Amino acid sequence: MSNWRYWFAHNAGVLTAVVLFAAMFTLYISNHSAGLTPAVATTAANKAVLLALVAMAQTLPVLTRGLDLSVGMVFVMANCIASVIVVGTVGEGLLGIVAVLLIGALAGFINGAIVVWGRLQPIITTLATGAVYYGISLFVRPGPGGDVQSDIADLLTGQVFGVVPAALVVLFVVVLVVWIPYRRSVLGRAAYAVGSNEQAAYMSGVPVQKAKLLAYTLAGVLASIAGLMLTFNTYSGEASAPIAGTYTLNSIAAVVIGGTSLFGGWGSAIGSIFGAFVLRTIEDLLFVFDLPPLWQPLFQGVVLLLAVSLGAFRILRVRNRLELFS
Amino acid sequence: MTGVDTGAMRGPTLAARLGIDRSVTIAFGCILLILCGGALYSREFLSPEYLLQQLQVGAFLGIVASGAMMVILLGHIDLSIPWVVTLGAMMATAMVGWGGPAGVWLCIPFGVFCGAVVGVLNGLGVAYLRLPSMIFTLGMNAVVQGLMVLHTGGFAPLDQATEAMHFIAVQRSLFGIPNALFVWALVGAFVIYLLKRTAFGRAVYAVGNRESAAYLSGVNTNRVLIGCFAFSGAMAAFAGVLLAGYSNKAYQNMGDAYLLPAIAAVVLGGTNILGGKGNYLGTIAGVILITLLQSILSVMQMPEAGRQVIYGCVIIAMLLIYGRGAKARS
């Protein structure tokens, strides 16, 4: 019994996001003219998985009490590079995918290396490296365009067995192959320790530097997976600073909605996935309720502000005012 | 004994009193380096006309950075700058249409006032709801964006800048020095006075160093937070008003180009992004550095791609020289 209550309290943030998403998605489907057909689900999934992957990427540095403001830029860079090298036969395409993932890992590793060995603040580091990655995207693809290996693209953006959206399967595989092993590994647990208290973690012999390096590197990998998925969806690449900025900012919002603390050491990538789904469903809801287009940005902004303000409930639990200043 | 200790007895040196520390020296050194490098490329880079032109453009960034610096000194960050800049510009130009003859006089204060209101809301969220400033100002940015899209979509009576806005942003009335530079100088003097000579300024550093300690010492920390965020909002909106005067109209996304350079300028000037340490002289150096860097890269007709890469690399390289944090064990 106490075990169950402990689990519940521990995952309250994630559960809130799941419930919020379930409620909103039900509302969306019940007001959609076509209902829940595989086509509707696939369209929704294809859009939502992009942000979910970027939000997962953002979660890892946030858990170490860092931040990655370059996830959006790595996402766009992967998109641009993929639109150049993921072409040709299926084999060449797969080779291109591996190359894009390696480039993403390298970009993340550079962030981590500057934060760990350069000892610069993550915010300002990733702000600057973000500019570099955007420059590289522009260099690779000065104007929108390009192509992508269509067999792989159709496979990953269509449906499995005609029912399940393939993008969701991709997301599930990423969780199984990347997140869960990471969470259970020594370095994954070290990341939580570093986020809670870096001094104490260092004193206890936790591999602080390796944990941070791995967190940023994996963030680069996850962001580049999202970039690949974007390429498969659009069949082209575009070096767009607004897209990168939107994804970076929404990824932070998704992380917060998913119950991860921006102060580090608390939360999970699963929560971020549902946080991302919530944000995406808001946009879809605006669409089915036929809100005048001019009002949509305001509505989205207000919902975003309210959603992140949910975190303010913690001040009700505070017994000593000094606990507020953390 | 006597001969050795006099240096320490005299108190801080002149350089320390003026706030000239290692980071400020290096930042000004880099400015000279850029200018010399530019002079090798073209003699024009050292002409007074070119330098005044750069300072005029830099004044807008300088005003935004002044506000951003106050918030960064607290250990917070204001990500609502992009749309607050646009808000200032749009509200000021729209006021002319709403207010009639009085609107011409009210437009500039009204634009700044709107920015200050957003800043106060930011401050309330950070101070009383205790939300991380990064996420709350981000949400506020989205809300202001929504309001401005709505505003331009149906209710904007005017988007043209007034004579007065054009005057302070573009014209040169004294010795050929741009008026915008005087405005920045006034803002800068105010910030220096606030930080060095008032209890509020001391409290800003105190809150930035350790908010709980400041609170226990009797500082009304919430008021300090709200004050700084209000100042940041007001300055971003003021820069927006000037930008509207500079380009003669207000348009969407006009503030997008100011967030990252403003934060970069403050941090390159030696202000600690975690708060509690920094001085305005450094911010001036940072602003001039960023402005010159952008200008020289564009004069050399570097494509946008190369400009972004060099821009990012220079920021990282400079910070690696002097902005490094302490080792974990210390």
Domain chopping of chain B, boundaries: 49-321
Q: Which among A67, A139, A262 has CB closest to B305?
A: A139
How many domains are there within chain A? Answer: 1
As for the ipTM of the complex, it is 0.83
Query: Rounded distance, CA B278 to CA B205, Å?
Result: 9
Residue B4 burial by Cβ neighbours in a 10 Å radius (0-12, 13-18, 19+): exposed
Query: Rounded distance, CA B128 to CA B125, Å?
Result: 6
Range of the domain at A104: 2-324
Q: What residues of chain B score a pLDDT lower than 50?
A: 1-8, 330
3-state secondary structure of A67: coil
Quick one: closest CA in A to B143, which residue?
A301
- Give the per-residue pLDDT at B325: 66
Fold of B49-321: ABC transporter involved in vitamin B12 uptake, BtuC (1.10.3470)
Give counts: helices (H), strands (E), chain A.
16, 2
- Give the per-residue pLDDT at A16: 85
Q: Which site among B79, B134, B307, B318 would you substitute to test the A interface, given the most A Cβ atoms closer than 10 Å to its Cβ? A: B134
- Give the per-residue pLDDT at B251: 79
- Where do the H-state alpha helices sit in chain B? 2-9, 14-18, 22-41, 48-73, 81-99, 101-127, 133-150, 163-170, 179-197, 199-209, 211-216, 221-247, 259-268, 280-299, 304-322
Q: How many CB pairs under 8 A join A and B?
A: 170
Query: Rounded distance, CA B161 to CA B93, Å?
Result: 6
Kindly report the CATH number assigned to the domain that includes residue A180. Answer: 1.10.3470
Query: Rounded distance, CA A170 to CA A60, Å?
Result: 19
Contact residues on chain B for A300, CB-CB shorter than 8 A: 142, 146
How far is B152 from chain A, CA to nearest CA, in Å? 9
- Give the per-residue pLDDT at B7: 45
How far is B150 from chain A, CA to nearest CA, in Å? 5
Q: Do A128 and B315 touch (CB under 8 A)?
A: yes
What DSSP string runs through A278-293?
Answer: HHHHHHHHHHHTT--G
Q: Do B308 and A198 touch (CB under 8 A)?
A: no
Which B residues in the span 264-323 are in contact with A, Cβ-Cβ below 8 Å? 264, 267, 273-274, 303-313, 315-316, 319-320, 323
| Average pLDDT per consecutive 10 residues, chain A (326 residues; last block may be shorter) | 77 85 88 81 89 95 92 95 89 92 96 92 89 93 86 84 87 94 93 92 92 95 95 90 86 88 86 92 81 82 82 74 72
Residues A220, A57 contacting (CB under 8 angstroms): yes
